[in-house]
């Protein structure tokens, strides 16, 4: 996990994701997942590009049990985009940097 992203747990999900006023991208991932590892530097670039407008949170599905069940996560990586506590977009699988930038721009504009 990068220092640019925030570790999301069942205990802090409400505060960091659902109560946030900014766009929160929640990355459901696992240490053993190759596409998840390939997505990590792209999410770091999203953090760099959008700064204070976007929070990237990481949910390790091997450690966090309730959040993946609550949101029906069936495959990883899955990205859920939350704005004002609501899911506004979902991306499943490895996404290109440009595709993610486009997704963020669509949500925050």
In terms of residue numbers, what domain contains 78? 6-108
pLDDT over 90 at 109, yes or no: no
Max CA distance (Å), the chain? 35
Average pLDDT, the chain: 94
pLDDT class of 2 with cuts at 50, 70, 90: low
Percent of the chain with pLDDT over 90: 93
pLDDT over 60 at 86, yes or no: yes
- Summarize pLDDT for 11-22 with one digit per residue, the tens: 999 999 999 999
Domain count, the chain: 1
The answer to the question of residue 44 being in a domain is yes
The answer to the question of residue 97 being in a domain is yes
Residues designated as active site? 33, 36
The answer to the question of residue 1 being in a domain is no
Q: Write down the number of H helices and E strands in the chain.
A: 4, 5
Of residues 56, 48, 52, the one with CA closest to residue 26:
56
What pLDDT is attached to residue 4?
84
Model pTM?
Answer: 0.94
Q: Long-range pairs for 37-45 at CB < 8 Å and ≥24 separation?
A: 38/94, 39/77, 39/94, 39/95, 40/1, 40/2, 41/2, 42/95, 42/96, 42/97, 42/100, 43/2, 43/4, 43/5, 43/100, 44/2, 44/4, 44/5, 45/97
Domain CATH for 35: 3.40.30.10
- Summarize pLDDT for 38-78 with one digit per residue, the tens: 999 999 999 999 988 999 999 999 999 999 999 999 999 99
């Amino acid at each position: 996990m990068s220092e640019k992203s925030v570790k999301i747990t069942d205990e802090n999900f409400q505060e960091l994701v659902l109560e946030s006023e900014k766009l929160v991208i929640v990355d459901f991932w696992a240490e053993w997942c190759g596409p998840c590892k390939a997505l990590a530097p792209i999410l770091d670039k999203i953090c760099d590009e959008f700064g204070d407008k976007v929070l990237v949170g990481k949910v390790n599905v091997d450690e966090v049990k309730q959040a993946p069940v609550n949101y029906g996560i069936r495959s990883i990586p899955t990205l859920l985009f939350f704005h004002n506590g609501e899911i506004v977009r979902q991306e499943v699988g490895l996404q290109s940097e440009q595709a993610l930038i486009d997704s963020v721009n669509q949500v925050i504009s």
